[in-house]
Chains A and B, each alone.
Chain A
Amino acid sequence: MSKFIKRKIISIPITFLGITFILFSAINILPPQTLATAYSSSDKELTNEEISEIIKKYDLDSSIIKKYSNWLKRTFTGELGYSQTAKMDVLKAVKTYIPATIELTVFSIIPIFLIGNFLGVLSARRKGELVDKIISSVSSFFYSIPSFIIGIFLLLIFYGILGIFEPGRYSAYTDIMISSLSFKKYTGFMIIDSILNADIKVLMDCLKHLFLPAFSIFLGTSAVFIKITRTSVIEELNKDYVRTLRAKGLDEDYIMKKHIKKNILIPQLTVGGLQLIRLLGGVVITETIFDWPGIGSWGVKCALRLDISGVMGFAIVVSALFLIGNLIIDILYSVVDPRIRYE
């Protein structure tokens, strides 16, 4: 493992601590009486005595540093509080909701890379032709549409009018199937679970429900990726080594596959990393629109009813996903190009 990645891995917990501190300070704008609700562990309304008891117990009217260190101690023991929105502990809520979010993210990232790569290369090779113009204008069209509009239009067309796809993670039939005892929940990832249970019907149902939200994220996020692919391919095609390869009589497809596609990986990764933050923001909105029971839609519900521990848990998890995604991209960098050392 390179020195760079080691340094990255060390820096991530520090950044992560900083993030929790920022979020914690933001939450602490609230008066202690309101904050106390975050420390209760049931749905019951707190009485005044209970509130003052909690304030005393957790030093809620002391300095921010002290409060933060208390909070950190609690968090490290796995005590993240109780989310009234989810009606369960935050830790359990995260465990329940995160598979849906990861499933959606993975199923939208893969098409962005595969189809985005294909379309970008295609439009670079047909530079100036009709195909190129169509790809460029369609992708920049979708880039200008905010993700919630894309989502709601897809819902209008495919659910409202055509009735093909529907919101949610699975249909009522699947819900009955998966709650039966014979269906074992190994991972919480519906796709993996249904394959492990060899249940084709559930698998198809889940894929069908996954399509629309993933497609919505794909439309909103792939434009920049297509653009950078196109630009870098055109740049590479003008370089001397390509001329040499052509002079040697190699055919265009071979050059593309063996040389150019490898050389454009670095700019693609850079843009992929930058787009990750847009993607995660998009996931929050897309989940809300499509009733996708993931971290994002839970977070929005928490934020709407000021479920403090829920909001905090949600923001921390999303930031963690982002940091992990960035780390993966950094590792991929050094895999793709071993010359990269980052001194």
Chain B
Amino acid sequence: MNSLKDIFKKLISNKQSKIGVFIISLYILVGIFAPFIAGKYNPNDPYISKQHSFSPIPQKPSLKAPFGTTQNQYDIFYSMVWGTRLAFKISVTVVVISALIGIIIGWLSGYYGGLTDELIMRFTDMILSIPSLVLAMVIASILGPGMEKIVIALAFVSWPSYARLFRSEILKIKSMDYIEYSRIIKANSFWILKKHIIPNAIYNLIIMASLDIANIVLMASSLSFLGLGSPQGYADWGQVISMSRNWIISSLSNPLEYAHIVIIPSAFIFFFVYGFNLIGDSFRDIFDPKQTR
């Protein structure tokens, strides 16, 4: 089995994934240094976007607002920088929560088998047969607006994949001799989980989780775009785009004048997802070298 260090070496030896790692590192830096890049507009909740005034007409980029403003004068630069941090905050929280739930449920299912396994797997089947965006929409609408509500909605639709992956890993490991031995010496099943199963099975789970981040960010921004995500006025990529629609299709004026409201946040989302996709492709190459490319 490869070690994480080897994988990282392979990742940066490939040109494509080198670009991916580079892009994602930039985002991580922007996320970490957000307070220094854009400052804190509202010290209590910096994720609330900077608002220059209440004028309804979007403004083009200027010295005061380097990326321009949306309707109601939300600063796009501020929204992008803090939106990066928000994207990581939401996606990492969702991934951690769903991976933890996935580990517990997957373990119950894979380790004990039988009826428990059957029930749990049918349940995950059902959740997975509701398109995840639709299910997330339903839950987000019931819970109402709010950051933690989005996290709950997204975690609810994501954990089944983790549970299934972890279960299949456990089934693989369970049949190995050293687990048999641990059982024969009557080791506590929780101890076996901690000492043997998690360290061996966690591996693919981490990879899946790291790639899932792009997916979660996509869903979160789609929800925000539809108006079901972050509350009005938050520094959120999807929300900025949703504010553009009325302006770029207005026949009264030149829609190109307002194109910056779409282009800038779209570029932020695009490179984020693209970076992760590049890394994801190389992961698949590393683990499945026989695949024809």
- Which residues of A are interface residues toward B (Cβ below 8 A)? 15, 18-19, 22-23, 26-27, 29-30, 140-141, 143-149, 152-153, 155-156, 159-161, 163, 167, 231, 234-235, 238, 277, 280-281, 284-285, 288-289, 299-300, 302-304, 306, 311-312, 314-315, 318-319, 322-323, 326
Q: Contact check: which of A29, A146, A280, A284 meets B142 at CB < 8 Å?
A: A29
**Would you mind naming 6 contact pairs between A and B with Cβ atoms under 8 Å apart?**
A27-B142, A152-B241, A160-B250, A285-B222, A299-B134, A306-B141
As a 0/1 sequence over residues 254 to 280 of chain B, the CB contacts with chain A under 8 angstroms (1 = contact) are: 011001001000100110011001000
Nearest 7 pairs between A and B by C-beta?
A160-B255, A303-B141, A281-B133, A18-B126, A144-B274, A156-B248, A149-B266
Question: B127 — which chain A residues lie within 8 A by C-beta?
Answer: 22
Q: A18-B123, A281-B134 are in contact. Are A145 and B140 (CB under 8 A)?
A: no
**A145 to B217 alpha-carbon distance, docked (Å):** 12
Does B34 reach chain A (CB closer than 8 Å)? Answer: no
Judging by beta carbons under 8 Å apart, are B140 and A149 in contact?
no
Given contacts A149-B269, A160-B255, A280-B131, contact A26 B248 (CB under 8 A): no
Interface SS of B by simple majority: helix
Inter-subunit contact A315/B134 (CB<8 Å): yes
| Chain B residues whose C-beta falls within 8 Å of the C-beta of A160 in the assembled complex | 248-250, 255-256
B101-135 near A? 1/0 per residue, CB < 8 Å:
00000000000000000000011011101111111
Kindly report which residue of chain B lies nearest to residue A159, judged by CB atoms: B249
Question: CB within 8 A of A146: which of B245, B248, B269?
Answer: B269
- Complex Cα spacing A247 to B134, Å: 53
- Interface residues of B toward A: which range? 35 or more
Tell me which of A15, A26, A163, A231 contacts B138 (CB under 8 A): A26
Q: How far is the CB of B237 from chain A (nearest CB, A)?
A: 10
Residue in B closest to A300 when the chains form the complex, CB atoms: B226
**12 more A-B contacts (CB under 8 A) besides A147-B222, A149-B262?**
A15-B126, A18-B125, A22-B130, A23-B135, A26-B139, A29-B142, A146-B273, A156-B248, A285-B226, A300-B226, A322-B129, A322-B130
- A18-B123, A235-B292, A304-B228 in contact; A281/B131 too (CB < 8 A)? yes
Among B126, B132, B250, B273, chain A packs the most CB atoms within 10 A around the CB of B126
**Contact between A156 and B255 (Cβ–Cβ < 8 Å)?**
yes
Q: Does B143 contact A (CB under 8 A)?
A: yes
A326: which B residues are within 8 A, CB to CB?
A: 129
CB-based nearest A residue for B228: A303
Q: Is B203 an interface residue (CB 8 A)?
A: no
Q: Does B137 belong to the interface (CB within 8 Å)?
A: yes
Query: Which residue of chain A is the closest to B275 with respect to CB atoms?
Result: A144
CA distance A284 to B274 in the complex (A): 23
Asked whether A277 and B132 contact (CB < 8 A) given A152-B248, A160-B248, the answer is: yes
Is B129 in contact with A304, judged by CB distance below 8 angstroms?
no
Q: Taking the complex as formed, is B61 at the interface, i.e. its CB lies under 8 A from any CB of chain A?
A: no
Q: How far is the CA of A153 from the CA of B259 in the complex (A)?
A: 9
Q: How far does the alpha carbon of A149 sit from the alpha carbon of B262 in the complex, in Å?
A: 8
Min Cβ gap A330→B in Å is 13
Give Cα A311 to B140, complex, Å: 11
Contacts of B143 in A (CB 8 A): 29
* In the complex, residue of chain A having the shortest beta-carbon distance to the beta carbon of B238: A148
Residues of chain A within 8 A of B249, CB atoms compared = 155-156, 159-160, 167
